[in-house]
Structure 1
Amino acid sequence: MKPLKRPARRALLVVHVAVSVGWLGLTLGLLTLGITAYATAEPSLTQAAYTAMDVFADWLLAPIALAALGSGVVLSLGTPWGLARHRWVWIKFWITLGTAAATVFALRPEISHAAAAGVPDISLVAAPSVATTAYLFMTAVSVLKPWGLTRRGRRLRRSAGTTSSGKAVDGRSLRRSA
């Protein structure tokens, strides 16, 4: 993919961060509702919490998950980070793909089933807990950018060489910083 121009890259970064933060917030809301539904002794409160979860799942979960995945892929392909050049990007991609698939194909149907049944379900506490942990991990990885280049990234960097400024073709210094 052709590198994105700076205004497009910045706009896409804002979209990606906003959608990703929205996904985290939505998941925290689902976790709160799941805990409420599971912990209460009131059947009507359990039903109300699962119904609220069902509304969020039907209208927001899939679009936000797919928007986070799509914006992340386009952003990675349109920047020097690349999709498979740096381990942190590659790991974020696979975790996002897995959580998006689990959200669409497992969590949404389970929420709909619980809303229809109105019976406490511990899986609707466990799934948002795991998802929240995954999103917080991906946030930390995005900030810290650990682990360096993948094999492909090292090969691309070697084959590209350096520019006259002493920087790699992807704009990053070849020297490691402290």
Structure 2
Amino acid sequence: MTTTTSTQAPARSPSRRGANLGHWRMSPRARKANLVLHLIVSITWLGLDIGLLTLTITGLATEDPQTLRAAYISMRLFGDLLLIPAGLLTLLTGLVLSLGTHWGVTRHWWVLAKVVLTLTAVTLTIFSLRPGLHEAAEAAIATPLDDGGPDSLAPPIVSLTMYVTMVVLSVFRPWSRTPWARDR
């Protein structure tokens, strides 16, 4: 009686979906922790934008120069201390979630749209909104403000529209897979 020994390793069944694709996947605990962080910073970013919209409306509606000055200076603080970190953390945690789960960055149109919208919002915040907030705050500090408020409601309304669109995309997950999605 002869015995044969096999040199092949036993076949392993994947413990979770997508484990055999050769991609890194987060553990359920890491995914949930990252998702919680992503939701917190995303909601913070949305709340900051609502705060900017409120300050802009206050600046447009007020007759009091001190209130107008306070609105401008507060908007600059939002831009410097809060908006950019919240936007960058939203982008980072979103990318980690998409890379560490079966959704991927380029596998589904809704994920790709969210990444593009987030990159656009962060870029506009850094290179357009923040300098505008600085100019307005410096003008408010340097000169008396007897008339006029923030120049436009457009920036906070545009960003609010983008953030609400991203929420809708996350909930409804529209469209099909992209051409770059690998079939299983």
Partner of 2:137: helix, strand, or coil?
helix
Letter in 2 for 1:142: S
2:125 corresponds in structure 1 to 103
Determine the structure 2 residue equivalent to 1:41.
63
Matched, 1:69 2:91: yes
Q: Which protein is richer in helix relative to its size?
A: 1
Select the structure of larger CA radius of gyration.
2
Shift of 1:98: 0.2
- The one-letter code sitting in structure 1 at the alignment partner of 2:111 is V
Query: Residue by residue, what CA displacement relative to the aligned partner does 1:128-173 show, whole Å, maximum 9, x if unpaired?
Result: 11101110111011000000100111xx11xx3xxxxxxxxxxxxx
Whether 1:152 aligns to 2:180 is yes
Tell me how far apart the structure 2 counterparts of residues 89 and 134 of structure 1 sit (CA, whole Å): 14
Q: TM-score, normalised by structure 1?
A: 0.84
Deviations 1:42-99 (A, max 9, x none): 2221111011111111110110000000110111000000000000000000000000
**Which range is displaced more, 94-103 or 44-53?**
44-53
Q: Report the equivalent of 1:17.
A: 39
Does the Cα contact within 8 Å between 2:41 and 2:89 map onto a contact in 1?
A: yes
The percentage of counterpart residues that share the same residue type is: 45
| Larger relative contact order, structure 1 or 2 (CA cutoff 8 Å, min sep 6) | 2
Distance 2:60 2:106 in 1: 41
Cα contact 1:114–1:120 (8 A) shared by 2? no
- Counterpart-to-counterpart distance in 2, 1:117 and 1:46: 11
Give the superposed CA RMSD.
1.1
1:112 corresponds to: 134
Find the counterpart in structure 1 of residue 12 from structure 2.
none
